[in-house]
Structure 1
């Protein structure tokens, strides 16, 4: 996998910043597809040996469905979905505390509220990302930033340079932990306020 640095010869072409995406979940794949559409250089670094889509059901509201249309998966997603007709909210005793219908949402936004199996969305997104754009078994251990570039260091003793780092690695984000550690070392974190 070759990652071109900003100092490489571009034969008179304008330089496009290289994007490093950490993790190949839904967010990482969606970003990769959008970058792919505009021929923007990127690489995905996934810590797992292979990614298996997990989860049961997802619901997407109209505000994100235009992005699904841009990726080219909207029609296939529509075929695998059911239209949401309402939202019910229950408390811990399973007593309904809120209910609303959403049947008019398409009239207001052009899109329906869609409910579908999560693995379907994952597979549709995955099909749009070239296989060679993902490096597996790349657990990020640390990152280093300068004014000119960012470098990720992985557990297999490899390092990769780019211009933009996107941490799409979820709740226990290695990227976020590395940034927090770096900001703490540089004394750039905001002061903590006492609990009230």
Structure 2
């Protein structure tokens, strides 16, 4: 297929690869895999291209976040009891490898291509073309960038918009960051080793450092492991030290150095054991410990022509609020609904309108999620604002907490082309415009007349 950017909106349905648009997904994170799974169920052709050579790898009900101190004492608890009655389902902690495995099982193996680092992209009225570092290419009708905060697809889109003078100034700025995160997960443990393992519910504990610029969290999983993540709050100097790593994962040496720095941090096991982070590291395969920059930004531009962004590629949220993965999945649900609603052999303008509807629906909720992640980051920080945030959370009236929860959990998007989940929550779901989008077959049935 010949791509000619100069004819960006030439309307020619005849050059489509198939009746349904072929979707090229760059990135096999949660957003990319969820979208691939849904497109597969909608019988829409797609391929996923991932730069890594492997996709790195269900849960226990969590009813509270327990805020603790370095003396292993409980300061206060943020409770989530009653979620099933209010919102139709309880919250669960699921490890990322378990969720990845669940999604991968829904996608044909031949649809996922590993070791594919995207270098350049072209798009026009007749389709998209992506070139990879190994010399191969991928062609299709729609390009989805699900390739993380330093998305190659986003860089390709923004380069064209910047050249045309239509990229918002804020989108030109680099990703800001103020924290670094260390994450890991132990091998399966016994209740004798770690008493929390025996608990039916997930014990999510967050500890705030007294005289150190760290907070750290642990929680037990349904696989009898203990997952953990530590957040380091950067100062001006430490931010400069970490700046050179911001475009990629930290290497093994940097991971081990951070482990050494935090090894004596106290850990609560649910029993009398006086564990520290060193014990969790000893129970963990070193390949299962990672160190990442925690960038934070909601971009204004999510699409251009036939290319669109999902997840961290268009909104990078601080993990302190735990809302980043959920929003990537919600992106995929809404985008899948709208791609499925495209007419047969859609033209570029129709694809662009679907992308606009996707961003219009998701943007307000992403901005809310960004505020949530910011508030949680503040709560586990070390500033005066952090102390104030913890005081407010500890003494917040029940009615106000319930009101905040109602807003946060009212958005419960569903897949329009699959059987709907029964929603018996007392708090009704917020409007979901993409749910009303019909597939092309349904559309044709409505508009076909018998003569």
TM over 0.5: yes
**Looking at CA atoms only, which structure, 1 or 2, has the larger radius of gyration?**
2
Partner Cα distance (1:20, 1:97) in 2:
48
Residue matched to 2:29: 25
- Secondary structure of residue in 1 paired with 2:102: helix
Query: 1 CA distance for matches of 2:74 and 2:17?
Result: 63
Deviation string, structure 1 residues 116-175 (Cα, Å, up to 9, x no partner): 222111111111111000122211111111123111111122222111111111112111
Bigger relative contact order (CA 8 A; separation at least 6): 1
Cα 1:112/1:51, change in 2 over 3 Å? same
Partners of 1:103 and 1:21 in 2: CA distance = 38
Which residue, out of 1, 9, 15, partners 1:7? 15
Distance 1:28 1:9 in 2: 21
Residue of structure 1 aligned with 2:151, choices 164, 173, 176 = 173
2:98 aligned with 1:120:
yes
Instruction: Tell me the SS of whatever aligns to 2:168.
Output: coil
The answer for the alignment partner of 1:150 in structure 2 is 128
Q: Which runs of 5+ in 1 are unaligned?
A: 54-79
1:85 aligns with 2:63: yes
How far does residue 186 in structure 1 lie from its aligned partner after superposition? 2.0
Match of 1:183 among 161, 164, 172: 161
The match for 1:52 is: 56
Aligned match of 2:45? 41
The change in CA–CA distance for 1:116 and 1:146 in structure 2 (over 3 A counts) is same
Alignment CA distance shift 1:6-1:129 (3 Å): farther
CA deviation after TM superposition for structure 1 residue 100, in Å: 2.7
1:101 aligns with 2:79: yes
Aligned partners of 2:17 and 2:141 also within 8 Å: no
How large is the RMSD of aligned CA atoms in angstroms? 2.7
**Separation in 1 of the partners of 2:77 and 2:126?**
51
Tell me the distance in 2 between the aligned counterparts of 1:129 and 1:38. 12
Q: Which has the higher strand share?
A: 1
Q: Secondary structure at the match of 1:84?
A: strand
Task: Tell me: CA distance 1:110–1:9, structure 2 relative to 1, closer, same or farther (3 Å).
Answer: closer
Do the aligned partners of residues 153 and 176 (structure 1) sit closer, same or farther apart at CA in structure 2, a change above 3 Å counting?
same
**Equivalent residue pairs, number:** 157
- For residue 90 of structure 1, report the CA deviation from its aligned partner: 7.7
Cα 1:98–1:52 change in 2 (3 A) is same
Which residue does 1:163 correspond to in 2?
A: 141
CA distance in structure 2 between the partners assigned to 1:181 and 1:89 by the alignment: 44
In the superposition, the TM-score normalised over structure 2's length comes to: 0.32
**Structure 2 SS opposite 1:28:** helix
Measured in 2, the distance between the counterparts of 1:9 and 1:172 equals 30
